[in-house]
């Protein structure tokens, strides 16, 4: 994995303070109900900090799956949510199903991230980390999710940008 992955997470994992409605994540049913309500009201974009916090909370795989599913409905993604989804993807102690969901979420989040000139968030490093996991993974389902996610994430960049090298492919321009 690129050595800068840890820097991506540490730089963006706790940068902004935003209202978090999920005070006690161990109350899984309450959190799931709140997620469902927020999703039905199309207000997920307003609660990305809370979603990122759920992704850091590894005690409930059900909550991880739900938060990653919600992440695929975000319209204007934030750096912190992308960073935490990447953190889930690279966590080898999590089940492949959760890591595959994280890959799917990352593809969506990166493709829905507003382009901001003032941002120093390194999306290239995120995509390189995804490509690294793709090369190292033995799981067919995770590889498929990552391949699709990298393709989706790469589609948001300008045409003259270089795309990361995928296994078995040349460096594309």
Domain assignments of the chain as residue spans, ordered by start: 5-154
Q: How far apart are CA 156 and CA 16, in angstroms?
A: 24
Q: pLDDT category, 93, cuts 50, 70, 90? A: very high
- Please say if the pLDDT value at position 66 is more than 50: yes
Q: Is the pTM of this model over 0.85?
A: no
pLDDT for 11-59, tens place per residue? 444 444 445 666 789 899 999 999 999 999 999 999 999 999 999 999 9
HSE, side-chain direction, 13 A CA sphere, residue 33 = 4
SS3 166: coil
> Measured on CA atoms in the order 80, 89, 47, 21, is the torsion positive or negative?
negative
> 130-168, pLDDT tens digit by residue?
999 999 999 999 999 999 999 999 887 543 344 444 555
Phi, psi of 31 (to 5 degrees): -65, -45
């Amino acid at each position: 994995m690129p050595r800068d992955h840890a820097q991506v997470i540490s730089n963006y994992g706790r940068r902004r303070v935003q209202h978090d409605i999920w005070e006690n994540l161990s109350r899984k049913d309450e959190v799931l109900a709140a997620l469902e309500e927020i999703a039905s009201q199309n207000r997920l974009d307003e609660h990305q900090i809370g979603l990122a916090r759920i992704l850091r909370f590894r005690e409930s795989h059900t909550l991880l799956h739900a938060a990653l599913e919600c992440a695929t409905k975000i319209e204007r993604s934030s750096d912190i949510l992308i960073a935490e989804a990447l953190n889930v993807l690279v966590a080898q102690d999590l089940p492949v199903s959760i890591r595959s969901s994280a890959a799917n979420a990352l593809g969506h989040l990166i493709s829905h991230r507003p382009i901001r000139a003032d941002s120093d968030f390194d999306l290239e490093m995120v995509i390189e980390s995804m490509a690294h996991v793709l090369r190292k993974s033995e799981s067919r389902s995770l590889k498929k999710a990552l391949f699709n996610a990298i393709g989706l994430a790469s589609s948001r960049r300008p045409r003259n940008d270089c795309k990361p090298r995928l296994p078995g492919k040349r460096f594309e321009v």
